[in-house]
Structure 1
Amino acid sequence: MSAVIDELAAGGVRLAVPLLLASAGELLSERAGVLNLSVEGMMLTGAFAGVAGALASGSATVGVLAALAAGLAVALLQAVLSVTLRADQIVTGITLNALALGGTTYGARLLFGDGSAGSVPGFDPLPVPVLHELPVLGPTLFEQSALGYVAFALTAVLAVACARRTAWGLAVDAVGEDPTTADRCGLPVRGVRTAVVLLTGVTSGLAGAQLALSEVHAFSDNITAGIGYLAVVAVIAGRWRAWPTVLACLFFGVVQALQFTAPALGLHLSAPLLTTLPYLLALLAVSGLVGRSRAPSALTDPFVRGG
């Protein structure tokens, strides 16, 4: 039984790593007033570009750089549409996701043919000496790939950076709560919003690389399978705060891992129920039934100077 619990914990954290990365950028973006539903498209494009770059160069590191560039490209398009041109953020995000799904599916047919499994340079687990032998925590935290460790570090840095007591965190919150007043106080509202959208592209592209180059070493159609949407849900379930969002990501990862380990634990849980749980948690978070929750006041509202 202990071995199964270890497997559940390790699998949950491993599955949570892409969520942690994507939600880290999305949290800042939403707190600045921009809802990035296109996180799914950024991740999917990053995963595709990561595999294509790794195959073309024979280097997993080049694959990661390609994934970052691809995620940034989608984010730039999102920023131009939603921040500069003030297009509807929800419609823009869904449209970009559809384009990413169609584009990567077609691109995979052209570049990979029947598939890329087993031939993609990637990142294998790097156990930390001594620490990886600790019960439960060892295989859970200290047997990650290089990208996994980068994800932990980047998530921690962004969690500290977006704290409400830091200058950057205060600027982000000011832009997301009252952009007109923030503009009158000299804050570059559009600049801040563009910056956080681009940051989301970087973290989401890295999340796609983690999924494709660390987890499966391959690309398949719709490899993200809604993980980007889950990242948005994690931010909502975390009530737009850093550490609760991290906990939501870990919970979602464990729920996903339960689909594989539940039989060994003697639990007979339906897969649809486990798939629904994250969304139920987000619904509870915004309903007020489990505590007060309030979204940033200007979330999804385009900024118009003098408006």
Structure 2
Amino acid sequence: MTTFTQTEAADGTVQLATVRERHFRTPIVLAVVTVLLALLFLLAPRSGTSIFVLGDRSSAIAMPDIPLPTTVTCWVLIGLLLLMTALAFWQAWNYRRPPLWLIALFGVVAVFAFLVWAAAGGVVPVTSLLVGAVSLSVPLVFGALGGVIGERAGVVNVAIEGQLLLGAFSAALLSSITGSPFVGLIGAMIGGVLVASVLAVFAIKYLVEQVIVGVVLNVLVTGLTGFLYGALLAPNEQELNTAARFTRIKIPVLGDIPIIGPVLFNQTVIVYLMFVTVAVVAWGLYRTRWGLRLRAVGEHPKAADTVGIRVNPTRFWNVLLAGAIAGIGGAYFTLVSVPQFGKEMTAGLGFIALAAVIFGRWDPIRATLAALLFGFVTNLQNLLTILKTPIPGEFMLMLPYLVTLLAVAGFAGQIRAPAASGKPYIKN
């Protein structure tokens, strides 16, 4: 990275001096991960054969299983990780940041090495692992997209958890009453908008600290939905808490592609809607007038105001849009995963989505990839329990949150939030 500093010469003139900085945060994180994996393989060695099953019952194309010798494969992969870590240090030493492809490749190899070790004498169903990861990631992706839009507009959306929870409640209630999952989906969007509207009013109109408002809203929605569940849904479960669910829709031909077919082309309406939403938000944020105005009010609202952009109304409506998108993520809980609402069923995923926003550098594509990573780790926890690895069960439960902390602590220090995020705009 190159920075400039001002120096004053003897004759009083100001000169610019170039200062180059080395950034070793990412290489250090890669080195720590490599060392931890090496210690795991050394202190808890596992022998035998790790079998990776690529085929799927729903696929028309048969795929062979891949057996790998556990010990040899693990140490070969450690060697690859060492090479990539050395390359990252070399890049940092030469004043360059490690490229994104290198970090992504390191992550894939590290996870694969861990799976080989964990599956010693067992089987890893690759397709099922990926399908489960996508399923667990859907609420995180919608929540992260809502967070990206809100913060790009200048409002910190800590209330993602509340938007997911009220969205799940509204979807279950309306879908149960009407018997239509599509009505439930619309209700979930309305629920997300209701939470977002309260956040927008207090944060934009009354200039209340945005983080405090978001935390209070999460507590409020948790208590409200818990009360309504006990007073309304539980006594009338058959009428009000038996939601009509979305079923899987398999796309012909594409759904039969090995591995990626079941993951991408044999999904429910909400998952297909997730793919479309990610693409539209990513395109609109950088390619349309809407995206330009959104980024302008989040980066430099005063400059946006001088060119005729109404800053606070722009922020207000985009916060509502963010709430609607997050509400769709809430609908996934009750219209796909479980056909009924349960108290606190979002289980803190809104905060994981907020971490995905930070880890993804407030970018829709990066935030989506971060959400998919967290979903994969959560599903990996279930697989490791089935494989009966020697890792304690308590560690399995904390694994998704540990990865979240590692991701934010390891990479968030290198990034910058939108300049006006969390700062109310008062027009002079």
Identify the TM-score tier after normalising by the shorter chain.
over 0.9
For each residue in 1:3-36, what CA deviation from the matched residue of structure 2 results, as whole angstroms up to 9, or x when unmatched? 5111111111111111111211211211121101
For each residue in 1:47-87, what CA deviation from the matched residue of structure 2 results, as whole angstroms up to 9, or x when unmatched? 00110111112221221121111111111111111111111
Give SS of 1:8's match.
Answer: helix
Structure 2 match to 1:295: 417
Following superposition of structure 1 onto structure 2, how do residues 152-301 of structure 1 map, counting pairs within 5 Å? 152-163=275-286, 165-264=287-386, 267-269=389-391, 270=395, 271-288=397-414, 293-301=415-423
Give SS of 1:246's match.
Answer: helix
Structure 1 match to 2:19: none
Instruction: Tell me how far apart the structure 1 counterparts of residues 416 and 370 of structure 2 sit (CA, whole Å).
Output: 17
Structure 2 match to 1:131: 254
CA displacement at 1:147 relative to structure 2: 1.4
Give SS of 1:303's match.
Answer: coil
Structure 1 match to 2:53: 2
Following superposition of structure 1 onto structure 2, how do residues 43-82 of structure 1 map, counting pairs within 5 Å? 43-82=164-203
Instruction: Tell me how far apart the structure 2 counterparts of residues 68 and 81 of structure 1 sit (CA, whole Å).
Output: 20
Structure 2 counterpart of 1:282, one-letter code: V
Uncovered stretches (5+) of structure 2, i.e. residues with no partner: 1-51, 55-124
Q: Which protein is bigger by CA-based radius of gyration?
A: 2
Instruction: Tell me how far apart the structure 2 counterparts of residues 214 and 268 of structure 1 sit (CA, whole Å).
Output: 33
Give SS of 1:172's match.
Answer: helix
Instruction: Tell me how far apart the structure 1 counterparts of residues 144 and 390 of structure 2 sit (CA, whole Å).
Output: 30
Q: Could you say if the C-alpha distance between residues 263 and 146 of structure 1 is closer, same or farther in structure 2, counting changes exceeding 3 Å? A: same
Instruction: Tell me how far apart the structure 1 counterparts of residues 390 and 311 of structure 2 sit (CA, whole Å).
Output: 50
Q: Which has the higher strand share?
A: 2
Uncovered stretches (5+) of structure 1, i.e. residues with no partner: none
Greater relative contact order structure (CA < 8 Å, 6+ sep): 1
Q: Which moved more, 1:279-288 or 1:62-71?
A: 279-288
Structure 2 counterpart of 1:161, one-letter code: G
CA displacement at 1:115 relative to structure 2: 8.7
Structure 2 counterpart of 1:301, one-letter code: K
Instruction: Tell me how far apart the structure 2 counterparts of residues 115 and 144 of structure 1 sit (CA, whole Å).
Output: 31
Q: Which moved more, 1:108-117 or 1:276-285?
A: 108-117
Give SS of 1:70's match.
Answer: helix
Structure 2 match to 1:108: 229
Structure 2 counterpart of 1:100, one-letter code: V
Q: Which moved more, 1:216-225 or 1:266-275?
A: 266-275
Structure 1 counterpart of 2:180, one-letter code: S
Structure 2 counterpart of 1:188, one-letter code: R
- Paired-residue identity, %: 35
Structure 2 match to 1:151: 274
Per the normalisation by structure 1, the TM-score is 0.93
The CA RMSD measured in Å over matched residues stands at: 1.8
Tell whether the 8 Å contact from 1:54 to 1:63 is kept in structure 2 after alignment.
Answer: yes
Instruction: Tell me how far apart the structure 1 counterparts of residues 351 and 160 of structure 2 sit (CA, whole Å).
Output: 7
CA displacement at 1:208 relative to structure 2: 0.6
The question of 1:19 aligning with 2:140 is answered: yes
Give SS of 1:162's match.
Answer: helix
Q: Could you say if the C-alpha distance between residues 123 and 182 of structure 1 is closer, same or farther in structure 2, counting changes exceeding 3 Å? A: same
Instruction: Tell me how far apart the structure 2 counterparts of residues 216 and 304 of structure 1 sit (CA, whole Å).
Output: 45
CA displacement at 1:216 relative to structure 2: 1.2
Q: Could you say if the C-alpha distance between residues 268 and 79 of structure 1 is closer, same or farther in structure 2, counting changes exceeding 3 Å? A: farther
Per the normalisation by structure 2, the TM-score is 0.67
Instruction: Tell me how far apart the structure 1 counterparts of residues 183 and 342 of structure 2 sit (CA, whole Å).
Output: 19
Structure 1 counterpart of 2:270, one-letter code: L
Structure 2 counterpart of 1:46, one-letter code: G
Tell whether the 8 Å contact from 2:156 to 2:210 is kept in structure 1 after alignment.
Answer: yes
Give SS of 1:262's match.
Answer: helix
Structure 1 counterpart of 2:150, one-letter code: S
Q: Could you say if the C-alpha distance between residues 9 and 115 of structure 1 is closer, same or farther in structure 2, counting changes exceeding 3 Å? A: farther
Structure 1 counterpart of 2:284, one-letter code: A
Structure 2 counterpart of 1:6, one-letter code: T
CA displacement at 1:262 relative to structure 2: 2.0
